[in-house]
Homo-oligomer: A and B are copies of this chain.
Amino acid sequence: MSKKLSLIEAYNQTKYQLVGHSKRDLAVLKEALEAFESDLESDNYGTGKIIDEFQEKMAEFLGKEAAVFFPSGTMAQQIALRIWCDKKGLKRVAYHPLSHLEIREEDGLKELHQIESILLADKDSVIQLADVVNIDKEISCLLLELPQREIGGQLPDYETLEAISNYCREKNIKIHLDGARLYEILPYYRKSAPEISRLFDSVYVSMYKGIGGIAGAILAGDHDFIKDSIVWKRRQGGDLISLYPYIISADYYFNKRAHKMSQYYDEAVELARYFNQCEGIETKPLVPVSNMFHVHVQVSEEKLETILVELYEETGVGLTTRITEAEGNKCFFEMSIGDRYSLVPTNEVENVIKVLDRRLKEVGPEA
């Protein structure tokens, strides 16, 4: 009798995986490095050809005057908010209750920058114009995260974005885009990056999520903003002597994948449709608006883990490595589509969904 595998162990033994681009191993860096000559000079504390050219490329992609490469989005976004707060002389901002800054950064914004945050909208909804209009204190900056990751990657409609942007500009409130997954939402909006970015005073994009680089982030805005952000990057310890391992991988995978976002989006829509055929499953959003969605399941986390381990072993198809508990003895997991999905034969996808449906019917919903 074999020992029961953990979810990750079972996942790692599957032949196919439905999410992501590839394993996150050294091969990712080696592939990128091969595209560059060995005698390419390192950047040097934020200067040099390799960093200058990539920053210019991303500024142009985003339709902003300038851009700066950061080791992390956490650092880039705290700094953006700090700059806008200092400019107004008021350390208060507003964002969603499930913003990365609120739940994933150990309160860095408060502990390092002494910036107070007002939480807008119910945690299960995206921010609407009324939420912004109804803020009862003065703020320096509004941060919008597009898509709202922690609720499955939901989006407001473009008209709402425009209305919020216009309102902020009328009221002298800066508006910052947490665009960690900005590339991923362009197909749904049918807009270019500059058409989204122009609604914002500053924009952050990640170089490792949809793009699949090693790490790193771009912060973009006008020349004055970027000049200030470079000073803050040094203050916060992000002005490394060499950032090139991240820059070359960002550049390489940007070129490889930035144009594939429509494909990932279409595939997410397809896969969500499959999941929604299963007993006791509903995806959020019901129809994805980017390459990601959450799969909500009417059984406990523990029960789903047992089902998935057996499912992975039986079908050879891996869905996820992490299940999150939800209220009422339910649970959910995140799906984020990358290069791997198109490598899985349709009949394998249909089979894993069929088996999942059968298993969920067998256990029935939780009491």
Contact = CB atoms under 8 A, between A and B. Distances in A.
Contact of A33 (B26, B44, B78, B236): B26
Given A33-B30, A208-B241, A236 B108 contact: yes
A272 B125 CA distance: 68
A108 B320 CA distance: 41
Interface in A37-62: 37-42, 44
A247 B71 CA distance: 15
Nearest to A86: B111
* Identical copies of this chain, number: 2
A41 to B, nearest CB: 5
Interface residues of A, number: 51
Interface in A7-41: 23-30, 33, 36-41
A163 to B, nearest CB: 32
A341 interface: no
A215 interface: yes
A236 B39 CA distance: 33
Contact of A71 (B36, B42, B105, B238): B238
Interface of A: 23-30, 33, 36-42, 44, 70-76, 78, 105-108, 111-113, 208, 214-215, 231-232, 234-246, 248
